[in-house]
Amino acid sequence: MTGVDFIATNELMNFFPTYSKVVDLLLKQRDADGCAWSGQLSSSALGTALAVTALEGGNESDQKIAKSGAQWLVDKINSDGGWGDTPESPSNISTSLIVRACISRHRGCMGAGKALTDSGAWILYITGGLSLSAIASTLRSVYGEDKTFAVPILMYLAICSDDESEWSQVPALPFMLALLPGWCYRLFKMDVVSYALPALIAVGLCRHIRVASVQKKTALGKLFASQFLKKLELLQPEHGGFLDATPLTAFVVLALKNCGYADHPVVERGSAFLRSSVRRGGCWPIDSNLRIWLTSLSARALAEHLTEIPTEAGRVAEWLISKQQFDIHPFTRAQPGGWAWTDLPGGVPDADDTAAALIALFYLKEFTQIAPLTKTVRLGLSWLMNLQNSNGGMPTFCKGWGKLPFDKSCCDITAHSIEAFTTWMDYIKTCDYVVFDDGFMNHLQSSTLKMVAYLEGEQDREGAWMPLWFGHQQTPEKLNKVIGTARVIKGLHALQESSFNDDSSVKARITSIVDKGESFLLHQQNKDNGWSAGSDSTVEESALVITALFHGGEESRNAARKGGVWLEDMISNNEIKAVPIGLYFSVLWYDEKLYPLIWSLEALSQLKDIE
């Protein structure tokens, strides 16, 4: 009996009941309508501080909300005197700067004095000074050329300062470019990312007006203020929340309130969004929810179980189909056919969520009408192909921007797109619907080969890939090669198992890079048989690696099975608490309570059938 056989016949006997337990837990997390999963994002100290300040000076209700939020911030200070993005996060300089400035405006909160003293000492240790010039220097070392978040932080600190001269430390933004047609933006290689257009306009205008005031000069940009404000109105969703994000919306509200436009409708709608999204206890999440993303991932993980409940599966499928976007998006000029992370008005179509929706619909295809579904799928696949960069990789939102990390091609989303393509490819070959003609299939195959070449070039010497939207707070550079490599290997395994290409040289290239990636993951397995880019194994990372390795060779499958024993033990002991591995815009950390359940279920669905 081999080691693999021993594990399979002895230690894995409890996988099926554990699998059933996770199925039940995940089904219970559905929204009241039964069609989707909204999950719960962690509360955000940074988002809370910005929202509190944005609502200050309002009516009695707003002031009560602000006071409650400020107290929540005081209560969440870390032992070192700083704040992290989530209550479970270590202190970071950006969040600590913003939270301390917010609390300085609410000194009446219980414990505020000590929090200000402790945080001042921590920030002084990190920056070497509390002046805005010292802070600006530190932020440059953190964000480099990317001004997306650094400039709004400095604007916020200048707003909270009593020294008007501090505005000179806030760098200018090229906000005048917002008057140009959207297709022009990428030509200028701007130092803010594509999704931050509202901040570019509002923060850039505010800084321009305030600096001109300090210098007693005419703010020429103010001559075009009506056009900028009109642009913001066009970008703002009907409920007021830009990207459904607390920080971005609060930055816009604060910027306009502090440069003479406090009564503008954009401010009124943005403030209304902040009021409506406050949580019990006075805190805010980083974003409203990841409903489309979580529903796609949940449907895929539950695919086998959903065959037993076809009516409910059909409702989920129809819900996902209905969330495909059919308008050109005002933020990114994205064409029709993609999906966003949320079904709320602030969502923007992106490659990762589009790939996830397409994969989920493949597993749900028997529960909905095939003819309309094939049109949905063709449009979604075409949307992804048209987003692909010239280097073969897939960006998140916009093709061709390429200067800053969150607009560049990225490995994890590229692999997810490969998985979406190959998941549908074999089915399309047997499909009689004319929407999938030879030209479409040739484009699909060509696009996939370009993505493979991109991933081949991005694999590092260890055999690993770096993800964009996930990280690890315990690693020196906050990176997470474990998740990045697991996501890429999973996508490439899907390609290997399809009838995509008979070219032996292509197959050999894919096998080579997959073997290197699996070897990296095998060497990252911890002594407890779980995985993590940091020191302690996590459910999320371990489940993703198990799913990736399960389709590999014997050594990889054996490691996956050992990992499965660790995972089963964690679930049995109810130790499935979410950890902050998610990265939001501008490197803000979050955790999502459904990630451990979804990814564990996907891993266990493979392991439970081992005999």
Q: Which CATH architecture has domain 289-458?
A: Alpha/alpha barrel (1.50)
Quick one: average pLDDT of 79-102?
Answer: 96
Cα 555 versus chain centre, distance: 32
- For residue range 531-546, list pLDDT tens digits in order: 999 989 999 999 999 9
Rounded to whole angstroms, what are the CA distances from 388 to 397, 409, 461, 478?
10, 8, 25, 27
- Strand, helix or coil at 551? coil
User: Whole-angstrom Cα distance, residue 337 to residue 290?
Assistant: 19
Rounded to whole angstroms, what are the CA distances from 88 to 73, 78, 84, 110, 118?
13, 9, 7, 22, 19
Instruction: Let me know the angle formed at the C-alpha of 351 by 347 and 354, rounded to the nearest 5 degrees.
Output: 70
Reported as a pLDDT band with limits 50, 70 and 90, residue 434 is: low
Of 178, 149, 332, the closest CA to residue 247 belongs to 149
Instruction: Let me know the angle formed at the C-alpha of 131 by 588 and 175, rounded to the nearest 5 degrees.
Output: 55
- Name the CATH topology of 43-285: Glycosyltransferase (1.50.10)
- Strand, helix or coil at 583? strand
Residue in the structure block whose two tokens are 């704040």: 83
- For residue range 460-510, list pLDDT tens digits in order: 999 999 999 999 998 888 899 999 999 999 999 999 988 776 677 888 999
Rounded to whole angstroms, what are the CA distances from 236 to 101, 232, 261, 416?
27, 6, 16, 30
Mean pLDDT, the chain, whole residue set:
90
Using the CB atoms, write b or e for 535-551: b if 16+ within 10 Å. eebbbbbbbbbbbbbbb
289-458: same fold as 43-285? yes
Contact call for residues 420 and 359 (beta carbons, < 8 A): yes
Of 485, 471, 479, the closest CA to residue 582 belongs to 471
Could you give the percent of the chain with pLDDT greater than 90?
A: 72
Instruction: Decide if pLDDT at 611 tops 90.
Output: no
Domain residue limits, the chain: 43-285, 289-458
User: Whole-angstrom Cα distance, residue 466 to residue 410?
Assistant: 8
Global confidence as pTM: 0.93
